[in-house]
A and B are shown apart, each in its own frame.
Chain A
């Protein structure tokens, strides 16, 4: 027979201190972790802080670590988890906690500002092939859940937020670089400001992306190749020596 309740072990606390607290939650068919959190808010602890908007995996607000795995809470079914043990729900580790499950993700918005935006080539004709668009649409699916940022060891373990932009912003850069009508060059930006060289292609980011974007294979590796071509290709380097950069 299906179990009637589950135990959620939820992080409660702020920047300074916190602890995990157990809550019993009645189960309903098809319930997701975010439903369980809402049930706690409505019936047990109205000040439990959580971010969410769409409850349909479209806005990327409800990121957290469920049983240690970075997930969207609104997309994680309770019946996909082992319900005989407490289910742990913790905030993303790579960002400072504000309260409970809510973290301070403002750093991401700062990184984003560094990226050269879309710059159409002069006098382009606004026509594009679906095949060329397909490639970029994969990256445009990003819902900015920042789960990839959260798992990338360069940010999570080494906290290199000054030197490194993180996978989300390689995805955005790739979308711009591969836009059929874009004319800007972001190689120097990727190398110097976003620190793409620190990425050692562990693919952890790709594994957690809820939009199933092939972050490493389709975005990061081609961008790394661009950077290498421009900065380390012997011919380009000689040209640059003679004519100066740009």
Chain B
């Protein structure tokens, strides 16, 4: 009997897992190439994590600062990433993002405007020029709605509230996925000639995070299990400004646009402390620097009442603040009883973004597993050791499009895959295991403990001792996770759903910890107290993680040298 006769089965040329900016852009491009496309996502369409993006997308359009061009954007990105970036990705990204933004506009997006009617751009940390195209502080919503409408118009098949738990293979080639419907708990099999993973980040493994519940690293874990390589997993970005109070909203993001629009950071003595940490760029320094500065101020006793720093924009006219930062205004007013047009906010670092992820080819997004492509936050390379604000949304468009294109072309050359029943049976058995584990561990408790471990031991500042303790703790948590149990029915059962998410989070947490332990230097978002210097030797290599049997194998790969003309651009830096 074939799997098709037992479970609901769908066949498409290209299967896209994830409906954030990257997944939707990939879908549109694959449709453009004439492929039949399925998009699968855990939430309702239009509600992926991308919807929360606030400040804007970076593209050297030179609408505001005429001197801007792709070379400077390239250089800023490489410098922000401490030169660990994949140079080809940084180049393509800087060159192509203006077109990707214009395209969005032509599909109906409405950006804020300059006086002469062009797309307005704002300043952001680490960008030499005003570069972020934006819509107030809800740029992600504008992006996702535009892409969603475009995809619906072009006719992709959407499978929403459907979670993939395993990739299926035909021999070595990735050829589909096994998933469950959240609403019913029924299983579904997707067969495809090419698969694109666009599942976003891993922030939910930390206690204080700006990420939505979906960011459990599923895509990286799926790819890892299917044999694909992960790259740069030690680099996790802590955004300097998350809310610190009240407790329920701790970690919720305060957009960098507050600083982009002129917001000032102070400690409890009223000192503008960034003068000490980065006198040139002040509040608009890169995120790694500002996050460490705030952390240090708090640690040394100069923090705000709830353990953060003060961020103040109230020197700007109230009307201006409300117009440029409307959702920040409401967020603080409604959730924290603070009127940001009158007084400062309290902010502190929050786990925000993962630079590491699936190792991909720069041009095509192809992973090291045949038939498997990746784009967006789930993929690694563009951002190196630290991402600049605004470079993610443009990343989603540039590399979402490239992955969709390459996947569609790859699919044209493939025959229909055939899959053994055994894989599907195994996936189904694994999925149902938590129901058979009566009286086992509560998945929420395991998740809670995982977040404590990552927050306390694999945070902004790291040491050999902490990281080793984290590995021991993770091992223990893995044992507990094997015994998690689900109660109730299979119909929309969050406790059961969390059992799958836990597996992925544990895998990625381990990958992050192992890579962090091995990188004996400080660079970008990775700060080792025991190795505080940035070492040239480490700047010439990236770390790769791959599954070997049941164990994690970590090895170094040399960073490809830059071609002369790009070296030249970097050298022009004053």
Contact = CB atoms under 8 A, between A and B. Distances in A.
A139 to B, nearest CB: 10
Interface in A119-141: 120, 126-130, 133, 136-137, 140-141
A22 interface: no
A128 B116 CA distance: 8
Contacts of B248: 28, 30-32, 35
Contact of B183 (A42, A98, A140): A98
A133 B183 CA distance: 39
Interface in B224-268: 245-249, 252-253
A102 B492 contact: yes
A54 interface: yes
Main secondary structure of the interface of A (DSSP, over half): loop
Interface stretch (A3-11, A58-66, A148-156, A213-221): A58-66
A51 interface: yes
Contacts of B105: 126
Interface in A34-48: 35, 41-43, 46-48
Interface in B105-162: 105-108, 110-113, 116-118, 135-136, 138, 140-142, 145, 149-150, 152-153
Given A30-B245, A54-B51, A112 B152 contact: yes
B389 interface: no
A27 B487 CA distance: 26
Contacts of A163: none
Given A28-B246, A58-B141, A47 B494 contact: yes
B492 A53 contact: no
Given A28-B246, A31-B246, A129-B113, A99 B49 contact: no
B230 to A, nearest CB: 25
Contacts of A61: 43-44, 47
B113 A46 contact: no
Interface in A156-206: 176, 179, 182
A57 B496 contact: no
Interface residues of A, number: 55
B155 to A, nearest CB: 10
Nearest to B111: A133
Given A46-B487, A47-B487, A49-B492, A126 B102 contact: yes
A25 interface: no
Given A113-B152, A117-B153, A59 B494 contact: no
B488 interface: yes
A120 B43 contact: no
A137 B139 CA distance: 11
B448 A140 contact: no
A129 B117 contact: yes
A109 to B, nearest CB: 7
Contacts of A58: 51-52, 138, 140-141, 327
A54 B52 contact: yes
A47 B494 CA distance: 5
B249 A144 contact: no
B110 A137 contact: yes
Contacts of A126: 102, 105-106
A59 B51 contact: yes
A51 B213 CA distance: 10
A171 to B, nearest CB: 12
B441 to A, nearest CB: 11
A133 B136 contact: no
B496 A47 contact: yes
A232 interface: no
A141 B137 CA distance: 11
A94 B52 CA distance: 27
Interface in B281-295: none
Contacts of B445: 42
Interface string A6-29: 000000001000000000000011
Nearest to B447: A42
Give the interface residue-count category, chain B. 35 or more
B214 interface: yes
B117 A127 contact: yes
Contacts of A46: 442-444, 486-488, 493-495, 498
B142 A140 contact: yes
A129 to B, nearest CB: 6
B138 A48 contact: no
Contact of A120 (B106, B141, B247, B336): B106
A29 to B, nearest CB: 5
A47 B489 contact: yes
A118 B107 contact: yes
Given A42-B444, A59-B51, A75-B334, A133 B112 contact: yes
Nearest to A28: B247
A50 interface: yes
B252 to A, nearest CB: 5
B106 A53 contact: no
A228 interface: no
B212 interface: yes
B45 interface: yes
Given A130-B112, A140-B135, A49 B117 contact: no
A99 B491 contact: yes
A47 B488 CA distance: 6
A144 B247 contact: no
Nearest to B53: A58
A93 interface: no
B533 to A, nearest CB: 38
A182 B107 CA distance: 10
A55 B138 contact: no
A53 B43 contact: yes
Contact of A140 (B116, B145, B150, B246): B145
A231 interface: no
A141 B331 CA distance: 15
A114 to B, nearest CB: 11
Interface of B: 43-49, 51-52, 102, 105-108, 110-113, 116-118, 135-136, 138, 140-142, 145, 149-150, 152-153, 183, 212-214, 245-249, 252-253, 327, 330-331, 334-337, 442-445, 448, 486-489, 491-496, 498
10 contacts: A29-B245, A35-B248, A46-B494, A47-B486, A47-B495, A48-B494, A61-B47, A98-B183, A117-B152, A126-B102
Interface of A: 14, 28-32, 35, 41-43, 46-61, 75, 77, 98-100, 102, 104-105, 109, 112-113, 117-118, 120, 126-130, 133, 136-137, 140-141, 143-144, 176, 179, 182
Given A56-B253, A100-B492, 17 more contacts: A29-B245, A30-B336, A32-B249, A35-B248, A41-B444, A46-B486, A47-B495, A49-B491, A59-B43, A59-B51, A98-B492, A99-B491, A117-B149, A128-B113, A133-B113, A136-B110, A176-B108
Nearest first, the 8 A-B pairs at minimum CB distance are: A30-B246, A46-B495, A47-B488, A127-B117, A118-B108, A42-B444, A49-B492, A35-B248
